[in-house]
Amino acid sequence: MTYEVELRSLIEKTSIEVSDEQVSQLSKYVELLNKWNKAYNLTSVRDPKDMLVKHILDSLVVGEHLQGDRFIDVGTGPGLPGIPLAILFPEREFVLLDSLGKRITFLRQVVFQLKLKNVTPVQMRVEKYPIEQPFDGVLSRAFASLQDMINWCSHLIDEKGCFYALKGQYPTEEIELLPENIKVTNSYPLTVPTLDGERHLIELKKTQ
């Protein structure tokens, strides 16, 4: 089954601009995720129509706030938000990092079938990831807390780069507990069509 019509109607409720080819790629990604999920248990979201909202739209709405060309999606799971964002921005590079082999096996299949030239899946724990040059942005919607994200991912960016944390409710208590050398530079309330509940993108930077 293809989900292009449904996905297109959801995207039209936002300001996101996508081509027919991108809608097709996103739809194929959901098909693959649904198929592999039955055996690999990649996401607790079982219904592909729910995946369109909770995974695809939830990832795409972050796109307009990203700055830079090179990003790493830490604890990417089945490729969220990395795969939808890589489809949205073919000119940008995305490293998708996860420690579980079955997730990386799935992501390699996604990259192959969707012919994504700007995605590199890597199986590794984040603290072991070797850095040659800092990334422009660290993306994550997997970390339990902002503190964990900072602690585990600090080596991935320098003062120019950003941490982008996808959250539900605004994490007031977590922000109060941040170390002195980390500041919140922006907070964006996100609107995801037909999704109940709050969504926020928290942007953090290292101070000099």
Q: In what side-by-side order are the strands of the sheet with 162-167? A: 119-123, 93-98, 70-74, 137-140, 162-167, 200-206, 182-189
Q: Are the C-beta atoms of residues 11 and 60 closer than 8 Å to each other?
A: yes
Question: What is the token pair recorded at 45?
Answer: 């979201």
Q: What is the DSSP string of 12-24?
A: TTSS----HHHHH
Q: Return the H-helix or E-strand segment holding 201.
A: strand 200-206
* 80 annotated as belonging to a binding site for a ligand: yes
Q: Across the strands, what pairs with 206?
A: 182
- What is the spatial distance between Cα 23 and Cα 84, in angstroms, rounded to a whole number? 10
103 is in an annotated binding site: no
Residue 197 labeled ligand binder: no
70 is in an annotated binding site: no
Contact 184, 163 (CB under 8 A): no
Q: Is the dihedral of CA 23, 52, 161, 64 positive or negative?
A: positive
146 is an annotated ligand-binding site residue = no
In three state form, how does the secondary structure of 52-98 look? HHHHHHHHHCCHHHCCCCEEEEECCCCCCCHHHHHHHCCCCEEEEEE
Q: Which residues are annotated as a binding site for S-adenosyl-L-methionine?
A: 75, 80, 126-127, 141
Q: Which residues are annotated as a binding site?
A: 75, 80, 126-127, 141
